[in-house]
Chains A and B, each alone.
Chain A
């Protein structure tokens, strides 16, 4: 299943980013093809979360360019709202809005940003909730849900915008171990349905089974880029070997 022949959805060229004179991203080149699942691995502080946040414009890049289809992030008239709509994101701390019920959280974007028909958006939201097994919680408030449930809702909220890409930023990092599975299963399901995704994670087994391509980052650069099996059995660089050893007891 080679997705490299699919059209390029996101083109990242020589992206630089620094905070307080500290280089976080130091020349990143990457292209993401339609339907591809890219997993970004690397030690903490390597810039992977920052990279993800640059991909939907939450962080402004300081050098290079990112192109979503034909829209450059550097253009003066970049329509950020459209970028945010097309590139969804799910965060580590399942940032649901605490003052809204589950269904209100999910429908906020579709109704207020996309101005969609309420009945139609509601139907879609309920279908998605059904798929993640949480339809019965649609009138609950986030505080009444477990971490895993909140994170599944956050995924549904991103999905209901009908994005072309979804970015996952360590979505299981704050979860109790027994809840990790239910969230990863949802993401795995999306991958099977051909969703284009960029995933930052520390779940190595999951990375291996979901990824089409593994990107290993260190020090603000991409050190290694390979097929998952190859990366996990035969990493090319010393740094990747060292990193993978940390996860083995």
Chain B
């Protein structure tokens, strides 16, 4: 199979390098998803209060991350915040910070939505049994809210994984960047390299995201029965 571009993936250390890139992508995404989820739960719970100040701050925070593109946030932190505070942060750390804050904002909205969608009588019924605020959330509200949060959370997680492809713009060598390097270095011998390399990267993203969708589906089916 002369000149079959697919060989490019297995040439030299290409295969290993692509997986190293994938590891960086996955690392940023999963650390951010975990930090973002914890942050989001705290934010979501805080948004069920009646304190106007807390609600206002949360509103600004959420809208800021919804309105301003993630790429701009990466630049703000990588170039702006580091200069302003005179600190040096690696691109990876900045990516984790930005993605965690983004995840926290969106997750907070998912948690709030799930909690507020629960019927009000559930709260009253719990109170009438003598459950205090903490126990009410721990045993009655959060277990029910989690079921309603699954679809939104999985959707957010896959969006975060996909959006990590932006981190290359602040100098992080992720799977997409390594793919570009491989294509660059082999563009003369293998003109079809870009097809195979990007095709392979598509496959790599697919194998991270697809199981999440699967888990989501099976949890939903399980809890609906």
A contact set with B: CB distance below 8 Å? 56, 58, 81-82, 84-85, 88-89, 91, 93, 95-99, 108-109, 112-114, 157-158, 161
**Alpha-carbon distance between A39 and B91 when the two chains are bound, in angstroms:** 70
**The 10 A-B residue pairs with the shortest CB-CB distance in the complex, in nearest-first order:** A95-B125, A84-B130, A109-B129, A113-B130, A89-B128, A95-B121, A85-B130, A81-B130, A99-B143, A99-B144
Category for how many chain B residues contact A: 10 to 19
Given contacts A81-B132, A112-B135, A113-B135, contact A98 B127 (CB under 8 A): no
Evaluate contact between B128 and A84: CB separation under 8 angstroms: yes
Who on chain A is nearest to B141 by CB?
A: A97
Given contacts A91-B121, A93-B121, A112-B139, contact A98 B144 (CB under 8 A): yes
Q: Does B147 contact A (CB under 8 A)?
A: yes
Given contacts A99-B143, A112-B135, contact A161 B125 (CB under 8 A): no
B159 → A minimal CB distance (Å): 28
Q: Does B140 contact A (CB under 8 A)?
A: yes
**Alpha-carbon distance between A96 and B126 when the two chains are bound, in angstroms:** 9
**Alpha-carbon distance between A95 and B119 when the two chains are bound, in angstroms:** 9
Secondary structure at the B interface, as helix, strand, loop or mixed, is helix
Who on chain B is nearest to A113 by CB?
A: B130
**Alpha-carbon distance between A158 and B124 when the two chains are bound, in angstroms:** 13
**Alpha-carbon distance between A182 and B128 when the two chains are bound, in angstroms:** 23
Evaluate contact between A108 and B129: CB separation under 8 angstroms: yes
Q: Which residues of A contact B143 (CB under 8 A)?
A: 99
Evaluate contact between A84 and B121: CB separation under 8 angstroms: no
Q: Which residues of A contact B127 (CB under 8 A)?
A: 58, 84
Evaluate contact between B122 and A84: CB separation under 8 angstroms: no
Partner of B128, one of A56, A82, A98: A56
A-B contact pairs, 27 of them (CB 8 A): A58-B124, A58-B127, A58-B128, A81-B130, A81-B132, A84-B128, A84-B129, A84-B130, A89-B128, A91-B121, A91-B128, A93-B121, A95-B119, A95-B124, A97-B139, A97-B140, A97-B144, A99-B143, A99-B144, A108-B129, A108-B131, A108-B139, A109-B129, A112-B131, A112-B135, A114-B130, A157-B129
Evaluate contact between B130 and A91: CB separation under 8 angstroms: no
**Alpha-carbon distance between A81 and B135 when the two chains are bound, in angstroms:** 12
Partner of B125, one of A81, A97, A99, A112: A97
Given contacts A84-B127, A108-B139, contact A97 B132 (CB under 8 A): no
Evaluate contact between A91 and B124: CB separation under 8 angstroms: yes
Who on chain B is nearest to A95 by CB?
A: B125
1/0 contact trace for B106-122 toward A, CB 8 Å?
Answer: 00000000000001011
Evaluate contact between A97 and B122: CB separation under 8 angstroms: yes
B131 → A minimal CB distance (Å): 6
**Besides A95-B125, A113-B129, 20 other CB < 8 A contacts?**
A56-B128, A58-B127, A81-B130, A81-B132, A84-B129, A84-B130, A85-B130, A88-B128, A91-B124, A91-B125, A97-B126, A98-B144, A99-B144, A99-B147, A108-B129, A109-B130, A113-B135, A114-B130, A161-B129, A161-B130
**Alpha-carbon distance between A88 and B139 when the two chains are bound, in angstroms:** 19
Q: Which residues of A contact B128 (CB under 8 A)?
A: 56, 58, 84, 88-89, 91, 158
Who on chain A is nearest to B135 by CB?
A: A112
Evaluate contact between B131 and A113: CB separation under 8 angstroms: yes
Who on chain B is nearest to A96 by CB?
A: B125
Evaluate contact between A95 and B130: CB separation under 8 angstroms: no
**Alpha-carbon distance between A58 and B135 when the two chains are bound, in angstroms:** 17
A55 → B minimal CB distance (Å): 11
B225 → A minimal CB distance (Å): 9
Who on chain A is nearest to B138 by CB?
A: A112
Q: Which residues of A contact B126 (CB under 8 A)?
A: 97
